[in-house]
């Protein structure tokens, strides 16, 4: 009758010692976990308990299915096998403990008998093997392949932590099999075949003819137990802590739309000056980082000037929470340069398996820098202009609608007459001389589609999206107030905008003073509807082969990927996707106020990297964008990379206009 | 050390300037006023002095569009006292302004008066030297840096060609600031709003402006370009070709 | 007795400033329409030789140890006495670090009107001032009996103020100059730049339109291809992107190259002052209303970031 012979060959003293050590382990473990939790609680309060079941579901899905981790195949499978393998093995040990110390001890029976035991043995053997495969994959990747994102950590000792974890887990798995193999070699039960790996090892020992298998068994068993306890004791003090912090981080993540930044806290001054001013959730973010480096791989600032690595920021912040050397957050730990380098494109948070919100932390620290006036002079000029003139160009607000001069039929003034669509034009489309052509074409397209639309003329102000992300909350509020005031005086059904940044903030951050938010559409959404309803017809089919660049604030921030592609298809263009498309789109580098800042000399600008990516696609002649800042950035990059004869940059609206 | 910064507001050149129907002055309908850039530097220099050596900074302006915002911004930077002269300042010139300010300054008895070296709409001289004369103080202009000495200041006076003279001026004195030692600092908008709640602007009414010494303009106009440049048309390549030809013709290539 | 037109000669470290010649040229023109003698007023110590090149009818030379270096209170006291004694019709000062220090003070002290930023005089003897960044001109009658006027360059060629025949010099006694509160401690020369832009035949000059320090590379490349030097207007130098030795303008250098290529420079008077004598000025600015187009011979509103690389290419292949 198959039954688990718990503690076979284990002398009584070892059994007792094991229980004592277990108690010590649990005690230290709880202390370690508690210490971490207390540290998070030093942060400022924040409510993150809404929609409880949605949170539970999402945490379970991510932990069980490992959906986000599996977005990258090799590391995903590697982690999945290690995780599930170790989890089942740990569960198996727990079951064995219950089997021996509860049911056997108190109730005189064992669960792990008969076919239950057989299945138990088989499952553990196979999963143990998976763990070893997974660990093998991990060791190979980390020490042979050596991907960039696992190198050069900014804090000492982390590489040692990584090695420690891999070694300990490997040792546990291997020593586990050895123990089992040695036991099977000696006891040779009939059901040994259900522990295939164990049996294999047993065979090896028998072949060696070792009479001291029992001694060896005890020795390895002791080592195995000690390793297990060491792992558990060290868990809260090593990378393994992510087993706790990550599911918690997923549970407590923000369920607000990603396009809505948390407001500035007014209680202790704007922004974060020192780490205790972060919220507890932000501190949890830092502690959830496993240094996987996926964020660094997708970061345009890292790829370009190399000044900023979101991974490094998280790693440094985590270490900083535990420092006792009096270093200050700003300047010593995190440099101003790093903070200003972020384009707020959200590629980092999009790929992070721990669901860390990097952007909220960067912006909070930027808010402090703005409060101190620590910024380069070009940004200062832009902010002063935004505050005074409502646009970053430093031009009079009266010049905003200059592009409408001499247009026939004249553009309607939404301040004076009711319209169906209020077109929020945006700064760049209004003021930039290189874009006035596209703006006029947009006007013509709207007119040809028979839309009843109007604009705010001089009453429009910069929507404030990037002002907010730069950290100037005060000017953002002022601009939003002015815009909302102007809008409240108009009669319209829908707001349509040609700028994704404007779209993002109008849709997610403007409160509209509690009067109910009007419907807000990006022009690609509107055009999709008009094409579907037949209101917008194309008279010709364009035969360009194009590639479409997903704007960060349209794609990742607001999930609009299909509408622009539908419109492109409708114009007849053939579309080829760049490797990094959709929610993996690579940022042009202008967001987060970067277009208002001085560029640091670097190997390449993000926009140049992106153009090269497009130029590598065979047959593609046109690079299509749906954001005015993209037009500026990419036209420049085409020139500086010498691709003028290879690629042309077109706003999607230009193609629509051409196909009319 | 008591430092006073009297400032003035000037037409914002970002806006279009037009002459009004009288033909002798600017049309105020489309006019927007902005702080005289040099006065902004004067405030910054005053704050820097206070930060370095302590003292009191008083910023004063006349009633004008943007005056309150400016005063509150100065308070957010560290100014201790804000004074606004109220009254009818239509048609004010620098002489009248200097007289109005000198009354206030005589009462306040400063050690140092900092003001912008000039303003782009100055027609009857500049405020600084006029003020100095009414107060009986020495004046040095085109100052781009200063250090305090015993009972005096040593200023960096700018001359053409990048030449600098270090000039000692006995206090009390009036200085015309060309540039502060660092560009005017940025003040976050929320800080200004915060200060609006706490700082107070003292109002001092001024009656009767004495415009004596001013300039009578018989005609104000926008310059007709005597010869306007020959504009080169075309795209970058076409224009570049033309420029290349100009270079060759001039023998510069 | 005909009226006198005083011109306060500005000189520093043994050199007469350009503006003095411009003022003399202005005074001569005014003398033609309004009548009077052009009298140069020279204050200093051991400075008589400076009178030799002045195109004045006569020179009043006041010598005193306190006048050796320019200080506002010594010069102001000396001139106050002189003006009270001679009652000139006008007194011309430079609109500069010297003239502006004393003109307004004298106006308040003597109760005389002062007119600033005067660029020229009309044929019927009216003053024409240039204000608001060069965007507005103001004209009017010169108030009687005496008017103090500060002058900006640009209205007259300085050669018209120079003379090959030394005018007669009348030494005059200085008044008691005591209780002076301003004294010059020392001078600091500008940092010797690698390049003396005043000696270059071609200058590629950048203004605010260059936007960032990195974009200077474009200008550097073009200058390199042309064998030219890069100069700048004040905003660029204030940011620290180029040293002051490259500054063209009122507070910088005056240059007269064969070709002055102005990129993204608006053409404010303070800058134009420094380069208006260039033989050929080519101005690139996206604002068609930029005042620089009133000084330039050729211009284009093309975006300089489009033009400069194209031009650099062509220059390289042309060489």
Q: What is the pLDDT of residues B51-94, one digit of tens each?
A: 999 899 999 999 988 899 999 999 999 999 999 999 988 888 99
**Per-residue pLDDT for A239 more than 60?**
yes
**Per-residue pLDDT for A86 more than 70?**
yes
- The verdict on a CB contact (< 8 Å) between C214 and A639 is no
- Decide: B217 and B117 in contact? Cβ < 8 Å: no
Average pLDDT, chain A: 91
What are the sequence ranges of the domains in chain B? 2-205
| Phi (first) and psi of residue C46, to 5 degrees | 55, 40
The CATH code for residues B2-205 is 3.40.50.620
Residues pairing with C61 in the sheet: C42, C171
- Decide: A275 and A317 in contact? Cβ < 8 Å: yes
Q: What is the pLDDT of residue C134?
A: 82
pLDDT in tens, A530-588: 999 999 889 999 999 999 999 999 999 999 999 999 999 999 999 999 999 999 999 99
> Among residues 396-455 of chain A, which lie with CB inside 8 Å of chain C?
433-434
Per-residue pLDDT tens digits of chain C, which is 319 residues long: 568 999 999 999 888 998 999 999 999 999 988 889 999 999 999 999 999 999 999 999 999 999 999 999 999 999 999 999 999 999 999 999 999 999 999 999 999 999 999 999 998 889 999 999 888 999 999 998 999 999 998 888 888 999 989 999 999 999 988 889 999 999 998 776 678 888 888 999 999 888 888 889 999 999 998 889 999 998 888 878 898 889 998 778 889 898 999 999 988 888 988 898 888 999 999 888 788 988 899 999 988 988 998 899 898 888 7
Query: Chain A contacts of C239, Cβ < 8 Å?
Result: 377
Determine what percent of chain A is predicted with pLDDT higher than 90. Answer: 70
Query: Chain A contacts of C214, Cβ < 8 Å?
Result: 598-599, 601
- Looking at CA atoms only, how far is residue A373 from chain B in angstroms? 5
Lowest mean pLDDT among A13-27, A99-113, A114-128, C289-303: A99-113
Chain-centroid distance of CA A652 in Å reads: 28
Plot region of A580 (φ>0 → left; ψ -120 to 50 → alpha; else → beta)? beta
Q: Which residue has the higher pLDDT, A161 or A10?
A: A161
Q: What is the pLDDT of residue A601?
A: 64
- For residue C57, CA distances in Å to C36, C40, C164, C253 come to 10, 8, 13, 30
Q: Which residue of C has its CA nearest to A381?
A: C211
B185 interface with A at CB cutoff 8 Å: yes
Q: What is the pLDDT of residue A464?
A: 96
Query: Chain A contacts of B193, Cβ < 8 Å?
Result: 474
Q: What is the pLDDT of residue A162?
A: 94
- Mean pLDDT within B18-38: 90
Query: Chain B contacts of C140, Cβ < 8 Å?
Result: 215-219
- Decide: A282 and A394 in contact? Cβ < 8 Å: no
Per-residue tokens: A404: 């409408």
B134 interface with C at CB cutoff 8 Å: yes
Query: Out of A373, A389, A398, whose CB is closest to B186?
Result: A373
Domain C197-318 adopts which CATH fold? Rossmann fold (3.40.50)
Closest CA to C291 of C137, C159, C127, C95: C137
* Locus of tokens 């000084």: C295
A101 interface with C at CB cutoff 8 Å: no
Per-residue pLDDT band for A441 (boundaries 50, 70, 90) equals very high
Neighbours of A417 (CB within 10 A): 11
Closest CA to A63 of A282, A294, A228, A288: A288
- Mean pLDDT within B16-25: 89
Rounded Cα distance, C241 and A186, in Å:
81
Q: Which residue has the higher pLDDT, A7 or A355?
A: A355
C309 interface with A at CB cutoff 8 Å: yes
CB pairs under 8 A between B and C: 275
- The verdict on a CB contact (< 8 Å) between B191 and A380 is no
- Looking at CA atoms only, how far is residue A609 from chain C in angstroms? 18
Closest CA to B182 of B25, B24, B16, B48: B48
Backbone CA torsion sign across B134, B140, B142, B146 = negative
- Looking at CA atoms only, how far is residue B137 from chain C in angstroms? 9
- For residue C308, CA distances in Å to A78, A432, A642, C64 come to 53, 19, 14, 54
B191 interface with A at CB cutoff 8 Å: yes
> Among residues 255-274 of chain C, which lie with CB inside 8 Å of chain B?
258-259, 261
Q: What pTM value is reported for the model?
A: 0.89
Helices C304-318 and A628-640 pack at an angle, to 10 degrees, of 10
- Mean pLDDT within B18-27: 90
What are the sequence ranges of the domains in chain C? 4-172, 197-318
What strands lie across the sheet with A421-424, from one edge to the other? Answer: A412-413, A453-455, A421-424, A494-497, A519-522
**Per-residue pLDDT for A80 more than 90?**
yes
Q: Do C4-172 and C197-318 fold alike per CATH?
A: yes
> Among residues 623-642 of chain A, which lie with CB inside 8 Å of chain C?
636, 639
| Phi (first) and psi of residue C292, to 5 degrees | -60, -30
Lowest mean pLDDT among A80-84, A225-229, C251-255: C251-255
- Mean pLDDT within A195-215: 78
Would you call the peptide bond into B172 cis, given omega within 30 degrees of 0 as the criterion? yes
Neighbours of A8 (CB within 10 A): 12
Per-residue pLDDT band for B225 (boundaries 50, 70, 90) equals low
- Mean pLDDT within A14-41: 91
Beta-carbon contacts of residue A514 (< 8 Å; ≥ 6 apart): none
pLDDT in tens, A52-61: 999 999 999 9
Rounded Cα distance, A321 and A342, in Å:
22
ipTM of predicted complex: 0.89
Q: Which residues of C75-103 are buried (b: 16+ CB within 10 A; e: fewer)?
A: bbbbbbbbbeebebbbbbbbbbbbbbbbb
Query: Chain B contacts of C301, Cβ < 8 Å?
Result: 231
- The verdict on a CB contact (< 8 Å) between A394 and B14 is yes
Neighbours of A463 (CB within 10 A): 25
- Decide: C307 and C284 in contact? Cβ < 8 Å: yes
**Per-residue pLDDT for A173 more than 70?**
yes
B224 interface with A at CB cutoff 8 Å: no
The domains located in chain A, with CATH, are 51-249 (no CATH), 262-372 (1.10.1060.10), 387-533 (3.40.50.1860), 545-659 (3.40.50)
CB pairs under 8 A between A and B: 45
- Mean pLDDT within A218-228: 89
C305 interface with A at CB cutoff 8 Å: yes
- The verdict on a CB contact (< 8 Å) between B186 and A384 is yes
Q: Assign 3-class secondary structure to chain B.
A: CEEEEECCEEECCCCCCCECCCCCCECCCCCCEEECHHHHHHHHHHHHHHHHHCCEEEEEEECCCCHHHHHHHHHHHCCCEEEEEECCCCCCCHHHHHHHHHHHHHHHCCCEEEEECCCCCCCCCCHHHHHHHHHCCCEEEEEEEEEEECCEEEEEEECHHHCEEEEEEECCEEEEECCCCCCCCCCCHHHHHHHHHHCCEEEEECCCCCCCCCCCCCEEECCCCCCCCEECCCCHHHHHHHHHHHHHHCCCC
Closest CA to B177 of B38, B14, B29: B38
| Domain at C4-172, CATH from 3.50.50.60, 3.40.50.620, 1.10.3720.10, 3.40.50.11540 | 3.40.50.620
């Amino acid at each position: 009758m198959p039954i688990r012979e718990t503690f076979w060959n284990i002398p009584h003293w070892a059994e007792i010692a094991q229980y004592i050590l277990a108690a010590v382990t649990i005690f230290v473990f709880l202390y370690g976990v508690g210490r971490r939790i207390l540290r998070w609680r030093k942060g400022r309060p924040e409510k993150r308990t809404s929609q409880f079941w949605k949170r539970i579901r999402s945490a379970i899905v991510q932990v069980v299915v490992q959906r986000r981790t599996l977005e990258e195949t090799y590391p995903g499978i590697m982690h999945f096998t290690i995780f599930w393998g170790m989890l089942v093995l740990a569960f198996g040990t727990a079951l064995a403990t219950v089997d021996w110390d509860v049911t056997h001890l108190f109730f005189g029976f064992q669960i792990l008998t008969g076919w239950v035991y057989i299945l138990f043995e088989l499952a553990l053997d196979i999963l143990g093997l998976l763990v070893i495969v997974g660990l093998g994959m991990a060791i190979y990747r980390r020490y042979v392949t050596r991907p960039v994102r696992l190198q050069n950590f900014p804090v000492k000792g982390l590489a040692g932590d990584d090695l420690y974890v891999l070694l300990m887990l490997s040792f546990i798995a291997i020593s586990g099999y050895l123990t089992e193999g040695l036991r099977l070699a000696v006891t040779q039960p009939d059901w040994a075949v259900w522990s295939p790996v164990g049996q294999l090892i047993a065979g090896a020992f028998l072949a060696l003819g070792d009479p001291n298998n029992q001694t060896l068994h005890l020795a390895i068993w002791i080592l195995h137990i000690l390793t297990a306890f060491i792992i558990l004791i060290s868990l809260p003090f090593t990378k393994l802590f992510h087993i706790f912090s990550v599911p918690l981080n997923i549970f407590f993540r923000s369920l607000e739309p990603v396009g809505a930044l948390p407001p500035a806290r007014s209680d202790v001054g704007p922004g974060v000056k020192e780490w205790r001013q972060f919220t507890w959730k932000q501190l949890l973010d830092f502690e959830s980082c496993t240094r996987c480096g996926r964020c660094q791989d997708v970061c345009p600032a890292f790829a370009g000037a190399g000044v900023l690595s979101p991974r490094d920021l998280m790693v440094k912040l985590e270490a900083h929470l535990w420092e006792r050397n009096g270093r200050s957050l700003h300047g010593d730990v995190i440099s101003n340069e790093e903070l200003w380098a972020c384009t707020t494109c959200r590629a980092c948070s999009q790929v992070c398996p721990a669901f860390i919100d990097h952007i909220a932390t960067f912006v909070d620290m930027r808010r402090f820098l703005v409060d101190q006036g620590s910024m380069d002079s070009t940004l200062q000029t832009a902010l002063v202009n935004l505050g005074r003139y409502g646009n970053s160009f430093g031009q009079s607000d009266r010049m905003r609608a200059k592009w409408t001069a001499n247009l026939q039929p004249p553009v309607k003034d939404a301040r004076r007459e009711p319209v169906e669509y209020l077109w929020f034009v945006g700064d760049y489309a209004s003021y930039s001389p290189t874009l006035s052509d596209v703006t006029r074409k947009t006007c013509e397209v709207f007119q040809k589609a028979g839309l009843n639309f109007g604009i705010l003329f001089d009453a429009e102000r910069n929507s404030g999206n990037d002002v907010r992300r730069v950290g100037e909350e005060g000017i953002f509020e002022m601009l939003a107030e002015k815009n909302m005031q102007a809008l409240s005086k108009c009669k319209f059904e829908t707001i349509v905008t040609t700028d994704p940044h404007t779209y993002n903030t109008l849709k997610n951050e403007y409160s509209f003073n509690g009067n109910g938010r009007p419907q807000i559409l990006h022009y690609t959404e509107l055009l999709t509807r008009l094409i579907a309803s037949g209101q917008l017809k194309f008279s010709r089919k364009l035969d360009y082969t194009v590639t479409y660049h997903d704007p960060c604030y349209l794609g990742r921030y607001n999930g609009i990927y299909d509408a622009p592609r539908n419109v492109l298809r409708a114009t007849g263009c053939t579309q080829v996707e760049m490797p990094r498309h959709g929610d993996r789109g690579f940022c042009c580098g202008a967001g987060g106020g970067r277009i208002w800042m001085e560029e640091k000399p670097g190997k390449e600008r993000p926009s140049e990297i992106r153009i090269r990516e497009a130029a590598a696609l065979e047959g593609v002649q046109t690079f299509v964008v749906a954001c005015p800042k993209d037009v500026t950035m990419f036209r420049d990059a085409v020139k500086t990379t010498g691709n003028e004869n290879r690629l042309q940059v077109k706003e999607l609206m230009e193609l629509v206009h051409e196909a009319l | 050390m008591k430092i006073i910064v009297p400032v003035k507001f000037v037409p914002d050149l970002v806006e279009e300037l037009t002459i009004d129907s009288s033909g002798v002055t600017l049309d105020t309908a489309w006019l927007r006023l902005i702080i005289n850039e040099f006065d902004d530097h004067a405030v910054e220099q005053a704050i820097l002095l206070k930060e370095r050596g302590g003292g009191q900074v008083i910023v004063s302006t006349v009633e004008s569009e943007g005056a309150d915002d400016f005063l509150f911004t100065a308070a957010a930077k560290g100014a201790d006292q804000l004074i606004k002269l109220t009254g009818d300042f239509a048609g004010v010139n620098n002489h009248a302004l200097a007289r109005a300010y000198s009354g206030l300054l005589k009462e306040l008895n400063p050690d140092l008066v900092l003001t912008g070296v000039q303003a782009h709409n100055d027609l009857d001289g500049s405020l600084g030297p006029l003020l100095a004369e009414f107060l009986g103080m020495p004046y040095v202009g085109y100052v781009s840096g200063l250090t305090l000495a015993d009972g005096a200041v040593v200023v960096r006076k700018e001359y053409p060609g990048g030449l600098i003279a270090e000039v000692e001026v006995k206090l009390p004195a009036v200085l015309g600031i060309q540039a502060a030692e660092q560009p005017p600092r940025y003040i976050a908008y929320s800080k200004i709003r915060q200060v609006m709640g706490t700082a107070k602007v003292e109002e001092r009414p001024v009656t009767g402006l004495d415009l004596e010494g001013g300039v009578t303009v018989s005609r104000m106009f926008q310059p007709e370009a005597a010869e306007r440049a020959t504009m080169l048309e075309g795209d970058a390549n076409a224009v570049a070709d033309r420029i290349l030809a100009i270079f060759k013709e001039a023998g510069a290539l | 007795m005909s009226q006198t037109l005083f011109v306060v000669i500005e000189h520093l470290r043994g050199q007469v400033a350009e503006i003095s010649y411009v003022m003399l040229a202005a005074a001569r023109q005014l003398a033609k329409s309004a009548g009077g003698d052009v009298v140069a007023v020279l204050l200093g110590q051991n400075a008589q030789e400076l009178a030799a090149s002045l195109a004045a009818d006569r020179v009043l030379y006041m010598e005193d140890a306190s006048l050796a270096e320019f200080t506002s209170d010594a010069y102001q006291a000396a001139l106050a006495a002189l003006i009270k004694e001679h009652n000139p019709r006008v007194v011309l000062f430079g609109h500069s670090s010297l003239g502006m220090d004393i003109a307004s003070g004298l106006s308040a002290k003597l109760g005389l009107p002062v007119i600033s930023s005067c660029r020229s005089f009309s044929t019927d003897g009216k003053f024409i001032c240039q204000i608001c960044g060069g965007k507005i001109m103001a004209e009017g009658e010169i108030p009687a009996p005496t008017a103090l006027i500060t002058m900006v360059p640009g209205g007259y060629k300085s050669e018209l103020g120079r003379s090959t025949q030394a005018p007669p010099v009348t030494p005059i006694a200085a008044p008691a100059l005591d209780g002076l509160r301003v004294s010059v401690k020392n001078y600091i020369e500008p940092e010797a730049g690698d390049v003396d832009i005043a000696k270059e035949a071609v200058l590629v000059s950048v203004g605010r339109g260059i936007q960032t320090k990195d974009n200077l590379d474009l200008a550097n490349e073009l200058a390199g291809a042309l064998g030219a030097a890069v100069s700048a207007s004040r905003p660029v130098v204030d940011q620290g992107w180029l040293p002051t030795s490259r500054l063209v303008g009122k507070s910088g250098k005056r240059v007269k190259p064969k070709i002055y290529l102005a990129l993204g420079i608006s053409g404010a008077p303070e800058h134009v002052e420094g380069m208006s004598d260039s033989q050929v000025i080519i101005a690139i600015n996206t604002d068609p209303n930029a005042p620089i187009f009133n000084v330039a011979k050729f211009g284009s509103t093309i975006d300089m970031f489009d033009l400069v690389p194209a031009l650099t290419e062509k220059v390289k292949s042309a060489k």
